[in-house]
Chain A
Amino acid sequence: MHEVRVAVRKTYKLYIGGAFPRSESGRTYQVTSTDGAFLANAALGSRKDARDAVIAARKAFPGWSGATAYNRGQILYRVAEMLEARRAQFEAEVAAAGESPDTVTESIDRWVWYAGWADKIAQVCGAANPVAGPYFNLSVPEPTGVVAVIAPSTPSLLGLVSVVAPAIVAGNTVVVIASERHPLPAITLAEVLATSDLPGGVVNVLTGRPAEIAPWLATHADVNALDLSGVVDPQLATDLERDAAGTLKRVIRPAATPVDWAAEPGFDRIRALLETKTVWHPRG
């Protein structure tokens, strides 16, 4: 007769600069399933974790934005492959959050969808401009830079993927605050990212309280854009947008009406995190 094996549980930490540190604050908070069962102690990210994450994201930016679009597409596709391979684990985690396993399928497909965008963006958003003079004139999209994201609280995995993938596909690097209530799929996704050839620092995942961490990101002078998609409290959204104005960050406001995260996302999220650079050169 065999005893029931005692499972080896996972410690959920943060994901910063390609490493999995605990919060520098040493704090954690309990994550429970929908029926109240204890699932794990997640790191309760702090101001200094946010600071470290921004440093990591900035450091990763030149390499990631300078990579070829083909290379970025390959890596995003690799994320989908790795996610597919660990589908069961994600299904269990989203189930514990009371979410459908279909959201895992959608999440995998979303990486594939965005992977294919990598080398199309410049062709869709760029332009050869017929200026009235002897000049070659070309507009090309470029990533905005470091993007701070507050991910939707639910669906925890699909919402996260839906805000991170469009940011990084164009070459941005990201600091994302995962769903406060359901942070575990985010950290497991970080494990996938860490094993998908994605350079460390391109995506940095913080868990904890958006209301505590986000203001530090919104006011951070080395953050270029702020995605408030996951902010539900209108006052917090307003405050963060006002904070972001201090250094004129690009802001994605929370949607006016509830978002169907399962629907095909369209191009808007990619476009919102692009700059357009126009280069002139004489022809003569």
Chain B
Amino acid sequence: MNMFEYAPAPESRSVVSLQSSYGLFIDGEFVDPRDGGTMKTISPATEETLAEVAVATEADVDIAVAAARRAYDTVWGPMPGRDRAKYLFRIARLIQERSRELAVLETLDNGKPIRESRDVDVPLAAAHFFYYAGWADKLAHAGFGADPRPLGVVGQVIPWNFPLLMLAWKIAPALATGNTVVLKPAETTPLTALLFADICRQADLPAGVVNIVTGAGETGAALVRHPEIDKIAFTGSTAVGRNIAQAIAGTRKRLTLELGGKAANIVFDDAPIDQAVEGIVNGIFFNQGHVCCAGSRLLVQESIADELLDALKRRVSQLRVGDPLDKNTDVGAINSAEQLARISELSSAGEAEGATRWSPACELPSQGFWFAPTIFTGVSQAHRIAREEVFGPVLSVLTFRTPAEAIEKANNTQYGLSAGIWTEKGSRILAVADKLRAGVVWANTFNKFDPTSPFGGYKESGYGREGGRHGLEAYCA
């Protein structure tokens, strides 16, 4: 060999011991579902079946909600904040202690590169519990009144793109404020939530405080409909979020929604080009583009468009697509056949509508669900790939001439979750950030997250914030 080719460097699977089947985690125990329904969860990288998982029906959800209500009334609601804090600190520590196991399991079930689950998802999940643990006995100082009260039983429905991290975003603030939880993980990625249930047991968290009900859309709908739920927190598609908002109309249920996006990543001609290229790549190819805040629309100033695109293509050609468990993999598997079909359909539409499609030469595995990193140039705002959320590794490139045009195009969407700005001119950053209608604006960086930093959208990207002091509001009366 006279080339510097990275030899395979797979993370060992042995740290994870998978059960052949998993029940529902209700009232501190794993229980079989009432009607015995199950579904399979597979590895999207190989299509291998990882485990069978229970499908919760309305009856199971009812039992879970009752358990959560009991725990709320008898244990968790009355418990002093400082004691709730200690349980959350325990959970944070247990996530750290079992981080390797969680990372490997997340990568197996989700298809994301181990580098990301190891360096992003799991550490951030632990950090979230650490952050909100500290709030549990300091709520009087959070600016929501002298004695903010919990809402009661919270129903939480989370997506498959960051299974454990979204669980942390939901459960940590809910528990810190004294609520109890019934959480439904995504149909295709239930395993880390079930491992989290085990972490709750290791932490001796009182029974019923956290309940995990696995299943598909029907399970989530049963949770949303349940009359004993006081609040729904949902992260997922705008279409489902809309259904939930409609379903709870006329009730006293509170609702927070973190939905889709079509973020503009705006690169001005005075940008730090090499870092901008990294930011564009990180913005759209991080987690295979399965990111609601992905920088899926690149708005580049026309005067540097050719130069930037050359650099971008050179960089994208270096992305290492393949085995998610390999420590050197940059882009992993698409999470499901269904999602792959949607990405393929929208990409075909992009071509059919006249945009120019480009992907680097890269060999995709024959098994599993894969999609090569893709860049569309010559895209206009009218194209579907510029308006609809692809939720995959597909970047649409548009150009602009002036800051005003960039802002206008960036805001010309029904979404408003995030945006990026690249320029060395500080005053321009502040002016443009001010005018972007988006909940998170990354200037000279992209896709950064932190438990102290509020995250959430404008417009049809949802409402409510997760993270930071703001994240408490969703769970306080």
Chain A residues with CB under 8 Å of chain B are: 124, 127, 129-133, 135, 137, 139, 144-145, 221, 224, 234-235, 237-239, 241-242, 244-248, 250, 253, 256, 271, 275-282
Contact, CB under 8 Å: A241 / B250: yes
- B252 lies within 8 A of A278 (CB): no
Task: Report the Cα distance A224→B444, complex, angstroms.
Answer: 29
Given the known interface contacts A280-B448, A281-B429, A281-B445, the answer about A242 and B459 at a Cβ–Cβ threshold of 8 Å is no
Question: Is B454 in contact with chain A by the CB < 8 A criterion?
Answer: yes
Interface check B291, CB cutoff 8 A: no
The answer to whether residues A237 and B250 also contact, given A248-B238, A250-B463 and a CB cut-off of 8 A, is: yes
B452 CB contacts on chain A under 8 angstroms = 129-132, 137
* B31 shortest CB reach to chain A, Å: 34
Q: Which of B245, B439, B455 has the most CB of A within 10 A?
A: B245
How far is the CB of A223 from the nearest CB of chain B, in Å?
Answer: 11
Partner of B470 from the list A127, A145, A253, A281 (CB cut-off 8 Å) is A127
Known: A242-B249, A248-B241, A248-B463. A279 touches B468 (CB 8 A): no
- B155 proximity list for chain A (CB < 8 A): none
Q: Given A276-B470, A277-B439, A137–B453 Cβ distance below 8 Å?
A: yes
* Residues on the A chain within 8 Å of B463, using CB: 248, 250
Q: Does B173 contact A (CB under 8 A)?
A: no
Is B439 a contact partner of A129 (Cβ separation < 8 A)? no
A279 with B469, Cβ < 8 A, contacts A242-B250, A245-B242 known: no
Q: CB distance A139 to B242 under 8 Å?
A: no
Within B414-443, the residues touching A (CB, 8 Å) are 414, 429, 433, 436-443
The answer to the question of B206 belonging to the interface, with a C-beta cut-off of 8 Å to chain A, is no
Question: Is A248 a contact of B242 with CB atoms below 8 Å?
Answer: yes
- Check if B178 is an interface residue, CB within 8 A of chain A: no
Q: How far is the CA of A239 from the CA of B250 in the complex (A)?
A: 8
Within 8 A of A (CB), among B291-318: none
Contact A247 B460 (CB under 8 A): yes
Q: Is B268 an interface residue (CB 8 A)?
A: no
Contact code string B240-279 (vs A, CB < 8 Å = 1, else 0): 0110011001101000010100000000000000000000
A124-B143, A130-B452, A247-B414 given as contacts; is B443 within 8 A of A280 (CB)? yes
Does B127 count as interface, using CB distance less than 8 angstroms?
yes
Q: How large is the interface on B (under 10, 10 to 19, 20 to 34, 35 or more residues)?
A: 35 or more
The answer to the question of B456 belonging to the interface, with a C-beta cut-off of 8 Å to chain A, is yes
In the complex, what distance in Å separates the CA atom of A144 from the CA atom of B459? 8
Q: What is the distance, in angstroms, from A133's C-beta to the closest C-beta of chain B?
A: 7
**In the assembly, what is the distance between CA of A276 and CA of B472, in Å?**
13
Interchain CB contact (< 8 A) of A276 among B241, B245, B439, B448: B439
Interface members, chain B 350-408 (any A CB < 8 Å): none
The answer to whether B468 and A127 have CB atoms under 8 Å apart is yes
Q: Given A242-B246, A244-B245, A248-B462, 15 more contacts at CB 8 Å?
A: A129-B453, A129-B454, A135-B445, A137-B450, A137-B453, A139-B468, A237-B250, A238-B249, A245-B242, A248-B238, A277-B441, A278-B440, A278-B454, A279-B441, A280-B453
Could you say which residues of chain B place their CB within 8 Å of the CB of A133? Answer: 448, 450
Interface flag for B90 (CB, 8 Å): no
User: Which of A234, A239, A271, A275 has the most chain B CB atoms closer than 10 A to its own CB?
Assistant: A275
A249 to chain B, nearest CB (A): 9
Complex Cα distance, B241 from A246, in Å, reads 10
Which A residues are CB-close (under 8 A) to B245?
241-242, 244-245, 248
Write the nearest CB–CB distance from B274 to chain A, whole angstroms: 14
- B9 CB, min distance to chain A CBs, angstroms: 26
Counting chain B CB atoms within 10 Å of each CB, the highest count among A271, A275, A279 belongs to: A279
Q: Whole-angstrom distance between the alpha carbons of A56 and B298 in the complex?
A: 32
- Name the 7 nearest CB pairs between A and B, nearest first: A238-B250, A245-B245, A131-B450, A241-B249, A242-B249, A245-B246, A129-B452
Distance in Å: Cβ of A22 to nearest Cβ of chain B: 33
A275 touches B439 (CB 8 A): yes
Task: Provide a sorted-by-A list of 12 A–B residue pairs whose CB atoms are within 8 angstroms.
Answer: A129-B450, A129-B468, A245-B242, A245-B245, A246-B242, A247-B459, A250-B463, A275-B439, A276-B456, A277-B441, A279-B442, A280-B448
- Enumerate chain A residues within 8 angstroms of B241, measured Cβ to Cβ: 248
Q: A280 touching B143 by the CB < 8 A rule?
A: no
Kindly list chain B residues whose C-beta atoms are within 8 Å of the C-beta of A253.
252
Please report the C-alpha to C-alpha distance between residue A244 and residue B246 in the assembled complex, in whole angstroms.
8
In the bound complex, do residue B470 and residue A279 qualify as a contact, i.e. CB atoms below 8 Å apart?
A: no
Counting chain B CB atoms within 10 Å of each CB, the highest count among A237, A248, A282 belongs to: A248
Is residue B100 within 8 Å, beta carbon to beta carbon, of the partner chain? Answer: no
Closest residue on chain B to residue A267 by CB atoms: B143
**Knowing A224-B459, A278-B453 touch, does A245 contact B470 (C-beta < 8 A)?**
no
- B443 engages A279 (CB within 8 Å): yes
B129 contacts partner chain A, Cβ-Cβ < 8 Å: no
B458 at the interface (CB under 8 A from A): yes
The verdict on B118 contacting chain A, using a C-beta distance below 8 Å, is no
Find chain B residues with CB under 8 A from A221 CB: 414
Q: A139 vs B462: C-alpha distance in the bound complex, in angstroms? A: 17
Give the docked Cα–Cα distance between A235 and B249 (Å). Answer: 10
- Chain B neighbourhood of A129, CB < 8 A: 450, 452-454, 468
Q: Which residue of A lies closest to B414 (CB)?
A: A247
